[in-house]
Amino acid sequence: MDMPPTVDFMTATMSPATRLTGQMIIAGVPVSGTGTEIRGFDPAGDRPLDPPYRYGDADHVDTACAAAAEAFGPYRATTSEQRAQFLEAIAANIEAIAEALVTRAVAESGLPQARLTGEIGRTTGQLRLFADVLREGSWTGARIDPALPDRSPLPRPDIRQRSIPLGPVAVFSASNFPLAFSVAGGDTASALAAGCPVVVKGHDAHPGTSELVARAITDAVAATGMPAGTFSLLFGFGPELGVTLVTDPRIKAVGFTGSRSGGKALVAAAATRPEPIPVYAEMSSINPVFLLDGALTSRGADLGRAFVASLTMGSGQFCTNPGLVVAVDGPGLDTFVAAATDALAASPATPMLTPQIARNYAAGVETLTQTAQLIGRGETADQENACRAALFTTDARSFLASDELQTEVFGSSSLIVRCADVAEMHAVAAGVEGQLTATVHADDADLDTARSLLPLLELKVGRILFGGWPTGVEVCHAMVHGGPSPATSDSRTTSVGARAIERYLRPVCYQNVPASLLPSAIADGNPDRLWRRIDGRLTQD
């Protein structure tokens, strides 16, 4: 495989926007940490990268939260148009340093250049989507129930409603999307769009990428006249700095993507605050794929090969990785398995994001080997930190009896569950934990079975796909990237797509408030030209 180019990101010949300083950024000011030294690590070359960074401490959290709290008033008072322009400025700044950003992210993650180039587009696309959401205006949730003074037996007062931002938000970057779910990723973009200042806890796996993106945001803050405390980036150990951040009384919500243990720890920390706050944690998922009989019979081999392509993409380091395949035993499934194991045997081992994630993967595969039958492996690894794909099988009864078999192995590992009949397939669908996605491969002959599965799947997942594979999450208005626990900590929301903004808003009702004091979203005459629900009817009047 291609080694990432070695670039000295500290050299004085680089532009200020791409020169790394090894610092955090608190309310526009570069600040050196005081704690443990960390470095980016190139998992493909198995070498640490310059510059060193140091963890922040409780004082840094305090400074960032104080600045965010101070920024909240003026920031939430900005218009939708001003915030849209701010988000667009961040996107433009990221594009302006795209080459350096991709080079650094490749070095820090081991992910291919094409993938990270695509992630730049996804990151800027998310920022621009939320700019569109702001301009479109329905995020305000404006409703007006005009007064009914003559109503009998009691008159109705004038009642109006709009949504306001919650306050400063703590965002925990994900390791597996160094751009799209990191410093300027979906959680940050949706919180900033809502009117919430953001304090990011950067991920140790890509500090240099984080610093570059933080600089792009900070420059946009200054250029668009936003308050300095609108954005800060801190580094630190999760159970210390991360928990200090989540328990700071000025933080009003949390966005997180990562492990189940990390997400649950933050939910617990937030719940024990004197004022508990919502934590939107996107955690683990094994994303069941249901292969129905007609589809297996007509195209079992094609499905087997396509499954392996999805399983091994990005070393399987996706929360939507197809970690579970469910089908009724028979010749169609045998054809699928034969094609999948052949394709797997030819899959090269590719680097994982960090040595620790590679060790977790190896341990997870080892554990599964004790409880399920190993039927296929990828090519052996000739380098450190690589993911050698693994495929297991078991029967439905064993699956349903074992919690271990439902545990996510983060990486290219999947389990095929052989069912005796459709009833057993239903039992598996009903027995899986909450998931981000469920995929169904069905031909016309399978529609009755598919129809019977759908109500079960709706209760288990945030997104149901027919055909295709769950990896690849479109950023759009109708997307749901969420699902019941333990896939996420709150099944009522999504972390991808336009509705992600709703996580950081709350409704406020204004009863008999004098017209001259009403916010413009719910003012008489509709000065913002919003679609509003007046007396229950949507209108732009």
Give the SS3 label for residue 351. Answer: strand
Asked whether position 248 contacts ligand NAP by CB under 6 A, the answer is no
CB 267, min distance to ligand NAP, A: 10
Q: Taking the complex as a whole, how short is the minimal distance between the CB of residue 215 and ligand NAP, in angstroms?
A: 20
Q: Which of 52, 146, 157, 239 binds ligand NAP (CB under 6 A)?
A: 239
| 472 forms part of the interface with ligand NAP (CB under 6 A) | no
Residue placing its CB nearer to ligand NAP in the complex, 68 or 171: 171
Answer whether 178's CB lies under 8 Å from 109's CB.
yes
306 phi, psi to nearest 5 deg: -65, -35
In the list 23, 175, 435, 493, the residue contacting ligand NAP (rule: CB under 6 A) is 175
64 near ligand NAP, rule: CB under 6 A: no
Using the rule CB under 6 A, is 35 a contact of ligand NAP?
A: no
Q: Choose which of 262, 348, 355, 484 interacts with ligand NAP (CB under 6 A).
A: 262
Q: How many residues bind ligand NAP (CB under 6 A)?
A: 28
Instruction: Determine which residue in the list 112, 258, 288, 462 makes contact with ligand NAP, applying CB under 6 A.
Output: 258
Q: Which of 110, 178, 242, 278 binds ligand NAP (CB under 6 A)?
A: 242
Please state the closest distance from residue 238 (CB atom) to ligand NAP, in A: 2
188: closest CA among 506, 505, 501?
501
Nearest CA-CA partner of 65 in 234, 301, 278, 256: 234
Q: Which of 22, 238, 255, 304 binds ligand NAP (CB under 6 A)?
A: 238
Do the beta carbons of residue 447 and residue 426 sit within 8 Å? no
Residues 6+ apart with CB under 8 A from 36: 54, 55, 237
Question: How many whole angstroms from its chain centre is CA 459?
Answer: 21
**Using CB under 6 A, which of 49, 94, 127, 283 touches ligand NAP?**
283
Helices 186-194 + 80-96 axis angle, to 10? 150
Among 43-51, 174-182, 453-461, 513-521, which window interacts with ligand NAP (CB under 6 A)? 174-182
Question: Among 17, 145, 159, 237, which residue sits at the site for ligand NAP (rule: CB under 6 A)?
Answer: 237
**CA 475-481-482 angle, 5° bins:** 160
Residue 71 contacts ligand NAP per CB under 6 A: no
Whether the Cβ atoms of residue 494 and residue 500 lie closer than 8 Å to each other: yes
Active site residue 319: yes
Q: Could you say whether residue 172 binds ligand NAP (CB under 6 A)?
A: yes
Nearer to ligand NAP, 176 or 232 (CB): 176
CB of 360 to ligand NAP, least distance (A): 4
Asked if 75 interacts with ligand NAP (CB under 6 A), we say no
If one asks whether residue 424 binds ligand NAP (CB under 6 A), the answer comes out as: no
Q: Is 9 in the site for ligand NAP (CB under 6 A)?
A: no
* Per CB under 6 A, 417 contacts ligand NAP: no
Q: How far is the CB of 286 from ligand NAP (least distance, A)?
A: 10
Q: Does 410 bind ligand NAP (CB under 6 A)?
A: yes
**Interstrand relation of 437-441 and 288-291 (parallel, antiparallel or unpaired):** parallel
Residue 413 in the binding site for ligand NAP (CB under 6 A): no
Question: Rounded CA gap, 216 and 173, in Å?
Answer: 16
Name the minimum Å distance from CB 315 to ligand NAP: 11
Which one of 65, 88, 119, 319 is the catalytic residue? 319
Task: Select the span of 222-230, 237-245, 394-402, 489-497 touching ligand NAP (CB under 6 A).
Answer: 237-245
DSSP string of 35-86, one letter each residue: S-EE--EETTTTEE-SSPEE---HHHHHHHHHHHHHHHHHHHTS-HHHHHHH
**Residues 349-378, mask of contacts with ligand NAP (x by CB under 6 A):** --------x--x------------------
Nearest of 392, 290, 381, 292 to residue 341 by alpha carbon? 392
Contacts (Cβ under 8 Å, ≥6 apart) of 82: 224, 225
Nearer to ligand NAP by Cβ, of 23 and 78: the residue is 23
Annotation says 65 is catalytic? no
Omega of the bond prior to 51 within 30 degrees of 0, cis?
yes
241-263: string of b/e by CB count within 10 Å (b at 16+)? bbbbbbbbebbbbbbbbbbbebb
- DSSP state at residue 433: P
What would the 3-class secondary structure string for 311-337 be? HHHHHHCCCCCCCEEEEECCHHHHHHH
- The closest residue (CB) to ligand NAP is 238
- Residue 241 carries which DSSP code? I
Ranges within 122-151 binding ligand NAP (CB under 6 A) = none
Q: Which residue among 88, 108, 282, 408 is the active-site one?
A: 282
In the complex, minimum distance from the CB of residue 49 to ligand NAP, in angstroms, rounded to a whole number: 17
Among positions 309-338, residues that touch ligand NAP (CB under 6 A) are 319
**Helices 331-345, 293-312: crossing angle, 10 deg rounding:** 20
Q: What tokens were used for 397? A: 């009864």
* Token representation of residue 244: 């200090």
Residue 462: name the closest of 425, 427, 500 by CA.
500
Catalytic residue IDs: 282, 319
Which residues are at the interface with ligand NAP (CB under 6 A)? 172, 174-176, 201, 203-204, 237-239, 242-243, 257-259, 261-262, 265-266, 282-285, 319, 357, 360, 408, 410
